[in-house]
């Protein structure tokens, strides 16, 4: 069996930043209970590892004792949550991904200009709940073209669409085309809302999956971008499966599979991918091949409140940036020589 490891895969800059924030706070305040509003990122292992270090995850800021520290997850929160945290005198550290914050800022700006916002995304996803909360009166969520006839439109010339950052670019395209057909004057966001990490991981699947018998995605079931990767595989005609970790693998899935693509959603840790590689090597004598599709070089700064906390504890944060190191697994590590695969770099985003 050949296992083709997609690069990029796994952690994006926003997830790396959110995890670093909680790590930093734990280091700064040993012995204090740190609260996180919602799963810091949508990965069971990341959350369980933090729980093992004493972090308490809540779905309501009312569950955080007054005056304590709360970290907002990478998916962003609505102003109502920020206000509730303030009312409880909490120190709120906002680990929202800056690319989600960008969509919030667009929602605020368009609502102020009198636009109705059609927010393309999954209604119950934390990110959509947060973005809608910026302008609830002006926002309607569109999950599929079937929702379009039910929209309440005041002025078809004063409409804008925004999107969740982790959608399938295929699905979003279908919905946006339908919106444009229904409302020809609808405005597009000033720049693409689906983020670079989502776009690049999906494009890698489009490039590699057609030459594979199966695509395996590492990621949790509530990770939107991980689930979308399996759908993109299916869209290009290759079956896709998603697992949280190696313990969920079933050897019968791989009968007749000569070439497997292995990738990971933006919130899945690399050590889980490594475990899965080992499983294939041990069980099937698989050879690993690395497919470099894009190099990513996105980095983010730390949240202001965290920097303030670091200053208070004499920790130097000057020039501290959060960047994602490239995936660490090399084919040689598993006794096979790396094989360079030629993959088009297409229209990925860095
Ligand atoms: S998937 Fe995109 S929007 Fe979400 S945290 Fe990562 S970089 Fe940010």
Structural domain count, the chain: 3
The pLDDT assigned to 329 comes to 67
Is residue 171 included in any domain, yes or no?
A: yes
The pLDDT assigned to 331 comes to 52
Domain boundary at 155, 182, 209, which? 182
* CB 100 near ligand 1, within 6 Å: yes
Q: Residues 175, 213: one domain?
A: no
Look up residue 299 and give its two tokens.
Answer: 């980095």
Q: Residues 330, 240: one domain?
A: yes
| Inter-residue contact 36 to 73 (CB < 8 Å) | yes
Look up the pTM and report it: 0.92
Domain limits for position 48: 14-97
Question: What digits encode the pLDDT tens for the residues 254-278?
Answer: 999 999 999 999 999 999 999 999 9
The pLDDT assigned to 350 comes to 44
The pLDDT assigned to 318 comes to 82
* CB 195 near ligand 1, within 6 Å: yes
Domain boundary at 82, 97, 112, which? 97
Q: Residues 175, 225: one domain?
A: no
Pocket test of ligand 1: the residue of 13, 95, 97 to mutate, having most ligand atoms within 8 Å of its CB, is: 97
Centre of ligand 1 from the C-alpha of residue 256, in Å: 35
Q: Residues 111, 82: one domain?
A: no
Is residue 227 included in any domain, yes or no?
A: yes
Here the CATH number for the domain that contains residue 178 is 3.40.1010.20
> Which parts of the chain have pLDDT scores under 70?
328-350
Q: Residues 142, 212: one domain?
A: no
* CB 97 near ligand 1, within 6 Å: yes
As to burial, measured by CB atoms within 10 angstroms (0-12 exposed, 13-18 middle, 19+ buried), residue 68 is middle
* CB 41 near ligand 1, within 6 Å: no
Q: Residues 85, 104: one domain?
A: no
Here the CATH number for the domain that contains residue 49 is 3.40.50.11270
Is residue 341 included in any domain, yes or no?
A: no
The pLDDT assigned to 333 comes to 47
* Atom in ligand 1 nearest the alpha carbon of residue 298: 7
The pLDDT assigned to 328 comes to 66
Q: Residues 218, 330: one domain?
A: yes
Is residue 150 included in any domain, yes or no?
A: yes
Q: Residues 125, 65: one domain?
A: no
**Tokens 């405005």 correspond to what residue?**
187
């Amino acid at each position: 069996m050949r296992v083709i490891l997609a690069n990029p895969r796994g952690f994006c800059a926003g997830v790396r930043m959110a995890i670093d924030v909680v790590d930093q706070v734990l280091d700064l305040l040993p012995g204090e209970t740190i609260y996180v509003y919602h799963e810091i990122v949508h990965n069971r292992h990341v959350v369980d590892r933090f729980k093992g270090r004493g972090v308490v995850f809540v779905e309501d800021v009312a569950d955080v004792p007054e005056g304590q520290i709360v970290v907002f997850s990478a998916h962003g929160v609505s102003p109502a949550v920020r206000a509730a945290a303030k009312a409880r005198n909490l120190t709120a550290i906002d680990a929202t991904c800056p690319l989600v914050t960008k969509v919030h800022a667009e929602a605020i700006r368009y609502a102020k200009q009198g636009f109705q916002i059609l927010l393309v995304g999954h209604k119950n996803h934390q990110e959509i709940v947060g973005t809608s909360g910026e302008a609830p009166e002006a926002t309607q969520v569109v999950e599929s073209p079937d929702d379009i006839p039910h929209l309440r439109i005041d002025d078809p010339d004063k409409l804008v669409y925004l999107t969740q950052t982790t959608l399938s670019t295929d699905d979003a395209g279908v919905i946006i085309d339908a919106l444009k057909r229904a409302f020809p004057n609808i405005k597009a966001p000033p720049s693409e809302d689906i983020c670079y990490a989502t776009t690049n991981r999906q494009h890698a699947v489009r490039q590699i999956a057609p030459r594979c018998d199966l695509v395996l995605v590492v990621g949790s079931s509530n990770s939107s971008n991980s689930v979308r990767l399996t759908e993109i595989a299916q869209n290009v005609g290759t079956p896709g499966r998603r697992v949280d970790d190696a313990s969920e693998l079933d050897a019968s899935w791989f009968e007749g599979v000569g070439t497997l693509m292995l990738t990971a959603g933006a919130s899945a840790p690399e050590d889980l991918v490594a475990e899965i590689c080992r499983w294939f090597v041990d069980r099937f004598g698989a050879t690993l091949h690395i497919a470099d599709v894009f190099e990513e070089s996105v980095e983010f700064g730390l949240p202001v409140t965290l920097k303030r906390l670091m200053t208070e504890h004499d920790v130097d944060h000057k020039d501290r940036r959060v960047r994602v190191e490239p995936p660490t697994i090399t084919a040689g590590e598993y006794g096979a020589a790396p094989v360079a695969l030629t993959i088009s770099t297409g229209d990925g985003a860095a």
